[in-house]
């Protein structure tokens, strides 16, 4: 269960290069089907465009795909894919739409334009990291809560939820390699009085 980086939202950005209009779109996707659906959506939106170039990377089945969509081989889809890889992102699809402006860009110009458009589209989105954590429900008294919250916030744990009732219930995300130190911290701070319950692990979102 490895951590990974992706984008949180759909985004787009536009640029003009020698009269050609380039629009870079990106979307978070969970699988190849979602990526293809997004690509078809953009194609439908831009039926009159000269090219709708795409690339996507998904964790499910470890898939990477790209298409030059009629541009010279290696000048469009590959640069888009390389941007995704360079940025260290996965579970993402990127489409760059081009409306030809009448001026040829040449192979090098196309590579730069498609790469830049993809980067602009990605940069317009919120980047996030999905961190796999074991979850723990901690029930403690109010006198313990303040010290425990401080430790959680300063020692690399993730406070996912906090409910105030007669006692305080905290849901905390802990990276697997930090579990032992976390449990010791809870026991030390509470003097063994805190009730600790392990919950099913999950990915927790951290904004980058």
pLDDT string in tens for the chain (208-residue length): 789 999 999 999 999 999 999 999 999 999 999 999 999 999 999 999 999 999 999 999 999 999 999 999 999 999 999 999 999 999 999 999 999 999 999 999 999 999 999 999 999 999 999 999 999 999 999 999 999 999 999 999 999 999 999 999 999 999 999 999 999 999 999 999 999 999 999 999 988 8
CB 11 within 8 A of CB 121: yes
Predicted pLDDT of residue 104: 95
Identical fold, 4-125 and 131-207 = no
Domain boundaries, the chain: 4-125, 131-207
Closest alpha carbon to 161 in 199, 191, 130, 208: 199
Q: What sign has the CA pseudo-torsion 159, 144, 201, 173?
A: positive
Beta strands (DSSP E) in the chain are 4-7, 11-17, 20-28, 51-58, 63-67, 92-99, 127-140, 158-164, 168-174, 195-207
| Average pLDDT of every residue of the chain | 96
In CATH terms, 4-125 corresponds, of 3.30.300.90, 1.10.10.60, 3.10.100.10, 3.30.230.30, to 3.30.230.30
User: φ and ψ at 10, to 5 degrees?
Assistant: -70, 150
Domain formed by 131-207, architecture: 2-Layer Sandwich (3.30)
Closest alpha carbon to 1 in 173, 176, 172, 136: 176
**Which residues does 44 contact at the CB level (< 8 Å), separation at least 6?**
none
User: φ and ψ at 170, to 5 degrees?
Assistant: -115, 135
**Residue in this structure with the two tokens 């996030």, named with its chain if needed:** 128
CB 78 within 8 A of CB 49: no
CB 185 within 8 A of CB 144: no
What angle do helix axes 179-190 and 142-154 make, rounded to 10 degrees? 150
**Burial bucket for residue 57 (CB in 10 Å: 0-12, 13-18, 19+):** buried
**Cα–Cα distance measured from residue 165 to residue 34, given in angstroms and rounded to the nearest whole number:** 42
**Cα–Cα distance measured from residue 131 to residue 4, given in angstroms and rounded to the nearest whole number:** 7
């Amino acid at each position: 269960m490895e951590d990974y980086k992706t984008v949180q939202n759909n985004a787009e950005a536009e640029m003009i290069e020698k009269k050609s209009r380039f629009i870079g779109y990106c979307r978070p996707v969970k699988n190849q089907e979602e990526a293809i659906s997004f690509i078809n959506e953009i194609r439908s939106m831009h039926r009159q465009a000269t090219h709708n170039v795409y690339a996507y990377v998904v964790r499910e089945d470890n898939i990477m795909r790209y298409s030059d969509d009629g541009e010279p081989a290696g000048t469009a889809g590959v640069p888009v894919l390389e941007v995704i890889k360079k940025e260290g992102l996965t579970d993402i699809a990127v489409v760059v739409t081009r409306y030809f402006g009448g001026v040829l860009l040449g192979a090098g110009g196309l590579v730069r334009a498609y790469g830049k458009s993809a980067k602009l589209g990605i940069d317009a989105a919120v980047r996030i990291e999905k961190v796999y954590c074991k979850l723990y429900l901690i029930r403690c008294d109010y006198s313990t809560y303040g010290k425990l919250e401080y430790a959680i916030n300063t020692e690399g744990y993730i406070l996912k939820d906090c409910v105030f009732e007669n006692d305080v219930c905290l849901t905390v995300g802990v990276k697997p390699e930090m579990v032992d130190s976390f449990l010791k911290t809870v026991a030390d701070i509470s003097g063994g009085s805190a009730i600790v319950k392990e919950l099913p692990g999950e990915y927790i979102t951290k904004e980058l």
